[in-house]
Structure 1
Amino acid sequence: MTATRIYLVDDNDGFRDSTAWLLETAGFEVRAFASGAAFLTVFDSTRHGDGECLVSDIRMPEMSGLQLQDELLRRGSTLPLVFVTAHGDVPLAVEAMRKGASNFLEKPFSDDALIDAIRNALSRDRVQAGSPQGAALAKLSPRERQVLDLVVASKPNKIIADILGISIKTVELHRANMMSKLGVRSLPELMKVALGHG
């Protein structure tokens, strides 16, 4: 199995270096960039393969993480994206989730939290690429799929409701519907199907 490649974009040299070291120690191949523009000069969205993920800061000079996300979407990229953000940037991170980011982590976060977020993003990307689980997930409505992605990202119902601009009751209804469609009875079973282990 080829090494998973992580693209790391953060303008803070110390954070970028320590995070790259952490990810390399965890077995990932890391390519680090000080800006979104530097990353875009080498990233070919038409050649995004299995086993690649972008980890990006949200607040950066010149090109923010959200602007980078917008440019990737404009190019038709499906690269899984995990944002890391300072506490005050949570509303921006919510916007990023609405646009399809896999997760966001508030700094400071644990090493395990980052590695888990990347693995979850990669697993969902593989499922969406056409496995049997992908066929099962195709039964879900777009809104149910959004709810599922946020459940997998470990967001509680209240946060999911805030991100999607719906009531907690509606989130609960979507969760019940998608569990029924996927033939699962518990959250662990749901996570297995969503992450391609079911």
Structure 2
Amino acid sequence: MNSGNVQVFLVDDNEPFRRSTAWLLEAADLDVRDFPSGPGLLDTIAQESPTTTASCLISDVRMPGMSGLELMEELRRREVRLPIVFVTAHGDVPLAVEAMRRGASNFIEKPFEGETLVHAVRIAVHEPPPASRNPSQCEEKLSRLTPRERQVMDLVVTGKLNKTIADALDISIKTVELHRANMMSKLGARNVPQLVRLVLGYA
């Protein structure tokens, strides 16, 4: 998959993270422009026309001033159609889930492997977003779960840690791990973002 003509806009208020992330994306032959805030990106987009055939936005979810969700909504208001990949700390998973409800392409928890982010960008740019939900097919998959696995799933997609899930369900952490592994296997989900897509009705 050719990445040389892909423009990536990177928005994160953490400068060391932004610089290191820009470096790893550039090493994957992606054209990167980074910004410390959403308004900086918006100003640039307002002044310039796209110069590449494909573009993608990578943004932190939680930032001072303008959050990643607010940036996404402002881009929509301006009718700027960019696939968005959010990066987030574990505690912000509920925010990232909300972002996917609103149409974000993906979210990745920090810390992450560089290739994970590069792959997410390529998928976001080169594959069409899930334009239509398929809740019946998703519900068929979800019906394979036991009641306990369904409970574990509901807590996983809200960003709860295994220990928290164990306390909430009054079971051991080992039991949570077993239910979680079985649940992910039955659903064919390799990670939390894929699980979230399924729960939201995207088969």
Q: 1:45 and 1:79 mapped to 2: Cα distance?
A: 16
Q: Which amino acid aligns with 1:114?
A: L
Task: State the AA in 1 paired with 2:126.
Answer: S
* Aligned residue number for residue 133 of structure 2: 143
Deviations 1:34-93 (A, max 9, x none): 000111100149945631100000110000000000101111121111000000000100
Q: Is the alpha carbon distance of 1:157 and 1:122 closer, same or farther for their aligned partners in structure 2, counting shifts above 3 Å?
A: closer
Which residue of structure 2 aligns with residue 183 of structure 1?
Answer: none
1:100 counterpart residue number: 103
Residue matched to 2:114? 111
Matches of 1:68 and 1:77 in 2, distance apart? 11
Distance 1:123 1:34, change over 3 A: same
- Displacement of 1:144: 2.7
Q: d(CA) in 1 for partners of 2:193 and 2:87?
A: 18
Shift of 1:4: 1.1
Match of 1:39 among 38, 41, 47: 41
Tell whether 2:184 aligns with 1:160. Answer: no
| 1:24 paired residue number | 26
User: Which one-letter code corresponds to 2:94 in the other structure?
Assistant: P
> Deviation of residue 123 (structure 1)?
1.0
Distance (whole Å) between structure 1 residues aligned to residue 189 and residue 120 of structure 2: 9
* 1:144/1:77 CA distance change after superposition, 3 Å: farther
Amino acid at match of 1:41: D
Give the deviation of 1:154 after TM superposition.
6.0
Matched residue of 1:52: which SS? strand
Count of residue correspondences: 150
Structure 1: distance between partners of 2:193 and 2:35: 32
Shift of 1:153: 9.5
Q: Which of residues 79, 83, 89 is equivalent to 1:80?
A: 83
The 2-side partners of 1:153 and 1:115 are apart by 17
Hey, what's the Cα distance between the residues in 2 that align with 1:45 and 1:98? 30
1:159 Cα deviation from its structure 2 partner: 2.9
Percent identity, aligned pairs only, is 48
Larger radius of gyration: 2
| Long gaps (5+) in structure 1 | 129-136, 165-170, 176-198
| Distance in 1 separating the partners of 2:194 and 2:54 | 29
* RMSD of aligned residue pairs (Cα, Å): 3.1
TM-score (norm 1): 0.66
SS for the counterpart of 1:8 is: strand
Change (3 A) 1:32 1:109: same
